[in-house]
Structure 1
């Protein structure tokens, strides 16, 4: 099973994303069951945010983990840019903790950059870490220049992760962001690692090479796409699903190893970038 080191903990390289979960009351029981099935199948990281459903996702996660061993889990949430100030972040964090039913987060991410000076946000993240309410902090939707600016700030090198969009059809960060993160030993959390199916006209699941390799390994195309994302030992994938069966399939991809020639065949279909591209976000 593939693992990586995240904020000082060794965790499986596939976690549980929760964007859009908690939005539909009729799916509540199914979504709770899916999260619990993921943990039972080996997941430890659960990623959420105060933005997701205006707190509904955090409440759903809180309900799902209530009977579970909190110490075995690695909980991530995120603070909105408008709440990432000295005056507002502590209250924002407290609200997230209450919705999740926990007294600490393993990792607290600055969701994306806003108008609050980055130095102020970092200083407040450092202060909150000193209280024990967050064990570590990181960032999200940061590009190479954002990371370089962060690194120059007091406390900036304490960043423990950057969460960006990354999948076989969106490889822009392969050019500048991922090399920087490898050099500075900052893990990447890849959101939407299977491209939400076939969004943006990528046709990942219908690509003949993807389908051929999936058939060769006797796995689904989604499992193959996840295995591609976590081929890098410093990348954590956080796919989202409300299906118990799909959740278990996602976690099974932890044991899928793609051979060099298979990776080369995928590179030919979906080439790595040869120049800097704008950061892809959704």
Structure 2
């Protein structure tokens, strides 16, 4: 099972995403069961945010994890840009902790940039880390220019991870962001690693090469897409599913290694960027 080190902890390279979870009461029991199945299958990382369902995803996660050993988990949440000020950040954090039924986060991310000065957000995150309510902090939806700015600030180089959109159909990070992060030893958290089931028109799962690679490994197309993402060093993928079977398959993809020939075929079908690309976000 492929692993990475993030915020000083070694965790499996495939975790559990929770975007869109908690929105439909009729799905609640299935979503809780899926999260619990993922943990039983070996996942340690659960990624959520105050934005997801206006806190409903965090509440769902809190319920799902109520009987788990907290020290076995790596819990990530995110603060909205409008709450990332010196006055509001601690309040948002406390609300997230209450919904999650925990007294600390392993990683707290600035969800995306807003109007609050970055230096103010960073200094406040640094202060919150000293309280023990967060073990580490990081950022999300940061491009290379944002990362350069962050690193120029006092304490900015203490960021523990950057969470960006990354999948086979969205490879813009490979041109500049990923090389920058490798050079600065900053792990990547890849959100929407299976392109949200092709809802954005990438047609990854119906691609002939992807299907052929999956067949060769007796794997699903989603497992191939996840294995492709975590081929990158120090990369964590956080797919979301409300299906127990799909959750178990997602976690099992951490043991799937694609061959050099297969990677070359996928490169041909979905070429890497040769110029700077605008940062993809959802």
Matched, 1:40 2:40: yes
Unaligned runs of 5+ in 2: none
Indicate the residue corresponding to 1:8 in structure 2: 8
Give the Cα–Cα distance (whole angstroms) in 2 for the partners of residues 196 and 100 of structure 1: 25
Identify the residue that residue 266 of structure 1 maps to in structure 2: 266
- Kindly provide the CA deviation profile for residues 46-72 of structure 1, in whole angstroms up to 9, marking residues without a partner as x: 000000000000000000000000100
Q: Distance in 2 between matches of 1:144 and 1:95?
A: 31
Map 1:123-134 onto structure 2 (within 5 A). Answer: 123-134=123-134
Name the CA distance, whole Å, in 2 between partners of 1:87 and 1:274: 43
Give the equivalent residue in structure 1 for 2:206: 206
Within 2, Cα distance between the matches of 1:260 and 1:211?
17
User: C-alpha separation between the residues in 1 aligned to 2:249 and 2:51?
Assistant: 27
Q: What residue in structure 2 maps to residue 120 of structure 1?
A: 120
Q: Does 1:191 align with 2:173?
A: no
Q: Distance in 2 between matches of 1:28 and 1:192?
A: 21
Structure 1 position 128, deviation (Å): 0.1
Cα deviation for residue 233 of structure 1 reads 2.0
CA distance in 2, matches of 1:199, 1:90: 35
Tell me the TM-score normalised to structure 2 length: 0.99
| CA distance, structure 1, for counterparts of residue 8 and residue 238 of structure 2 | 18
Q: Is the 8 A contact 1:3 1:12 kept in 2?
A: yes
Counterpart of 1:225 in structure 2 is 225
Instruction: Report the Cα distance in structure 2 between the residues aligned to 1:48 and 1:255, rounded to whole angstroms.
Output: 24
Task: Give the whole-Å Cα distance in 2 for the aligned partners of 1:199 and 1:30.
Answer: 22
Residue 155 of structure 2 corresponds to residue 155 of structure 1: yes
Is residue 2:92 matched to residue 1:92? yes
Other structure's SS at 2:272 match: coil
Task: Give the TM-score taking structure 1 as reference length.
Answer: 0.99
Task: Confirm or deny that 1:75 pairs with 2:75.
Answer: yes
RMSD, aligned α-carbons: 0.5
2:105 is equivalent to residue 105 of structure 1:
yes
Counterpart position of 1:139: 139
Deviations 1:92-128 (A, max 9, x none): 0000000000000000000000000000000000000
Determine whether 1:241 maps to 2:280: no
Flag as ranges the 4+ runs of structure 1 deviating above 6 A. none
Contact 1:3-1:233 within 8 A present in 2 as well: no
Measured against aligned partners, the alpha-carbon deviations of 1:127-151 in whole angstroms (never above 9, x if no partner) come to 0000000000000000000000000
CA distance in 1, matches of 2:215, 2:154: 50
